[in-house]
């Protein structure tokens, strides 16, 4: 039986592929559980994560075979929330590589990533209202904190489909690339990340998340900043900069 999420490494980058192309990579509970598991149990030498979909489709969203149309579906919401939290709290950069449809719960997960690389034929859509649903309030609150109010209203009240180019303009995605290049470009964004940067990335992601949720705890983050300033990695980086620019001039030397 094929795993719902295939995982492989390219250098330090972990590639997680939603792998149910016959169902347009619909997010089944096993797929959500596998995705969360990979994100939570990262090897220490992983320097970044790319999430993509098999078959030229990111994901058509929730697997309706697993929904009842009743309040029992709150359990499905919990499974989506677990993945969204795993993405948000992941200490590594997480990039969504979007080709084709990115709908409903899949859009929720893609927008939780640090970056969204979209192929030119992709689109983002959350059709919850058309399905008679108030989308998960926790997820909606997150969208409202990070996107312009007009974009959120169009996305969730009208259920508008944002084609890739407009999605870039509206801030739903961060990069636009030719069709079929999203996964490659997403991996390229992470190729230059080194192990020496990982603690700083984790701290910066953590602080940005705290700001977004209104819990910045400035003194705690100042303490973390102090720890990084005194770290061997920071000392080595500064020593290297001194060696490259012995006279204090940061401009490239001729």
Q: What is the rounded average pLDDT of the residues 181-186? A: 98
Query: Where do the domains of the chain lie?
Result: 5-191, 195-244
Q: Is a pLDDT exceeding 90 seen at residue 101? A: yes
Reported as a pLDDT band with limits 50, 70 and 90, residue 231 is confident
pTM of the model: 0.90
DSSP conformation letters of the chain: ---SEEEEEETTEEEEEE--GGGTT-B-HHHHHHHHHHHHS--TT--EEEEEEGGG-SB--B-GGG--SSGGGHHHHHHHHHHHHHHHH-SSEEEEEE-SEEETHHHHHHHHSSEEEEETT-EEE--TGGGT----HHHHHHHHHHS-HHHHHHHHTS---EEHHHHHHHTS-SEEE-TT-HHHHHHHHHHT--GGGHHHHHHHHHHHHHHHTT---HHHHHHHHHHHHTSHHHHHHHHHHHHH-TTS--SPP-
Backbone region of residue 193 per phi and psi (left: phi > 0; alpha: psi in -120 to 50; beta: other values): beta
Q: What is the rounded average pLDDT of the residues 99-108? A: 97
Of 45, 41, 53, 44, nearest to 15 by C-alpha is 53
pLDDT at 120: 98
pLDDT at 218: 64
The yes or no reply on domain 5-191 and CATH 3.40.630.10 is no
> Rounded to 5 degrees, what are φ and ψ at 108?
-55, -45
Q: Is a pLDDT exceeding 70 seen at residue 125? A: yes
Reported as a pLDDT band with limits 50, 70 and 90, residue 219 is low
149: its two tokens? 């109010």
pLDDT at 253: 45
Q: Is a pLDDT exceeding 70 seen at residue 100? A: yes
Q: Is a pLDDT exceeding 60 seen at residue 254? A: no
Q: What is the rounded average pLDDT of the residues 178-188? A: 97
35: its two tokens? 């995705």
pLDDT at 223: 79
| Residues 15-42 pLDDT 10s | 999 999 999 999 999 999 999 999 999 9
Q: Is a pLDDT exceeding 80 seen at residue 156? A: yes
- Comparing 57 with 72, the larger pLDDT belongs to 57
| Residues 71-93 pLDDT 10s | 888 999 999 999 999 999 999 99
Reported as a pLDDT band with limits 50, 70 and 90, residue 233 is confident
pLDDT at 197: 94
Point out the least confidently predicted range of 132-136, 214-218, 247-251.
247-251
How much of the chain exceeds pLDDT 70, in percent? Answer: 93
């Amino acid at each position: 039986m094929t795993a719902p999420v295939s995982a492989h490494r390219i250098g330090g980058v972990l590639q997680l592929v939603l792998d149910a192309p016959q169902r347009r990579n619909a997010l089944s509970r096993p797929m959500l559980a596998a995705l969360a598991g990979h994100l939570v149990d990262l090897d220490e030498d992983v320097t970044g994560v790319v999430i993509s979909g098999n078959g030229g489709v990111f994901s058509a969203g929730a697997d309706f075979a697993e929904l009842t149309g009743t309040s029992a579906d709150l359990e499905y919401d919990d499974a989506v929330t677990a993945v969204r939290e795993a993405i948000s709290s992941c200490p590594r950069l997480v990039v969504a590589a979007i080709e084709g449809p990115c709908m409903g719960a899949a859009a929720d997960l893609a927008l939780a990533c640090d970056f969204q690389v979209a192929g030119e034929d992709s689109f983002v859509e959350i059709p919850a209202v058309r399905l008679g649903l108030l989308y998960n309030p926790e997820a909606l609150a997150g969208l409202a904190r990070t996107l312009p109010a007009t974009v959120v209203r169009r996305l969730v009240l009208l259920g508008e489909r944002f084609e890739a180019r407009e999605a870039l303009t509206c801030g739903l995605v961060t990069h636009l690339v030719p069709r079929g290049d999203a996964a490659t470009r997403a991996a390229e964004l992470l190729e230059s990340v080194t192990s020496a940067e990982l603690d700083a990335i984790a701290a910066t992601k953590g602080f940005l998340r705290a700001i977004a949720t209104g819990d910045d705890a400035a003194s705690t983050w100042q303490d973390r900043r102090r720890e990084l300033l005194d770290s061997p990695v920071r000392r080595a980086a500064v020593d290297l900069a001194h060696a490259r620019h012995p006279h204090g001039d940061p401009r490239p030397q001729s």
